[in-house]
Structure 1
């Protein structure tokens, strides 16, 4: 083969293997605001949130997001060039997201994070998305800080506390019972908590007892009292209004 023919063949090969395409943004998934009433509301003037745990009341507030962050919702990989391309471009949507975190004066073993987002994965490809029919969801993340009476060895270090984290997804504000993989969602026309009766409350709770994750088993062996949030009550205008742990500890959130 002549040198000129060899160079032409190499050039063609490079063009076949390096011909790429740009990732394609399919548009924006905007909030429907269907569930926005279940996010923490700004208390009226002169009022504040309070968290009551084990008989002690602490002032609480939520760190609200400054504006709305943008996240990427991947859909699929596709080769637009019509040629073999090992780095096929991606199709994706952009979406909005709001994240709230709780702060409790004086500390509390229970922490709350609230994420308002679209019902689609940010970590893996979403093969089927109807742009005009992607619901809003609220992810309530509840952490419980287990403080050990004595440090527990962990590798070359020792651990004095461990936070168990549980997530509850709220995406259907209806009176129907929602049966998810790990928990149930119930609508309660009336419920009495701490001697106070509330109307129109949603109860989300773990279906199994107990529900310890593999990464928690080591600490459970050293600390049988290892606890986690088993259920929550949520209400419009407040968000999480009550939480309880597997071991029976209670936390009430009020606006006063």
Structure 2
């Protein structure tokens, strides 16, 4: 990005979602492999079940009035997985976009992508670009999919943008960095959920999570559904968010 002015960082405030709950919810979708292993199934079966959970969760987010739903689908570290599994994931991504984009568009959902997804095969990139363009004018829930995303890389790219823009050191503040992040035009992150019992962020939305509420649930991602999301939102509503104050 170029020519982005450094402005005062807005102070985070309480959630103002349509339902009174969080405006922006993010989920680390974890546990597909363990779900499959428990059932003596191949890992791809877990990923396919995870795609069904994705469908349920997107629908639930709309029902709960969540403005932005951000999902960690493929991290920059996932390239370390076996080539066969990566090929299966890319095939599933192709299938999901082709099968779901019409319904997503009809539901008024706006699709956004964060991360360097252009590293994927050209046909996958084309499918993604077409899907984003098809939903660009929608005004319902914004569905943000993180593809080939890593938060540390995102911050590095933001810093490079600051250098390229020639900002003086005195003009570099949190707003200058935030304006150059992939999520710069989205509401602040309110709630970050990780499934499968793991208790780490795994290089996901590190900057954005500074004042987000964190929730770690034991549910494996393929078992996640609208009711699980609603329970998470209810938990969020019980928390007092002070942002460093009293």
Q: With structure 1 as the length reference, what TM-score do the two structures score? A: 0.25
Q: Which has the larger radius of gyration?
A: 1
Q: With structure 2 as the length reference, what TM-score do the two structures score? A: 0.26
Structure with larger RCO (C-alpha < 8 A, sep 6+): 2
Greater fraction strand: 1
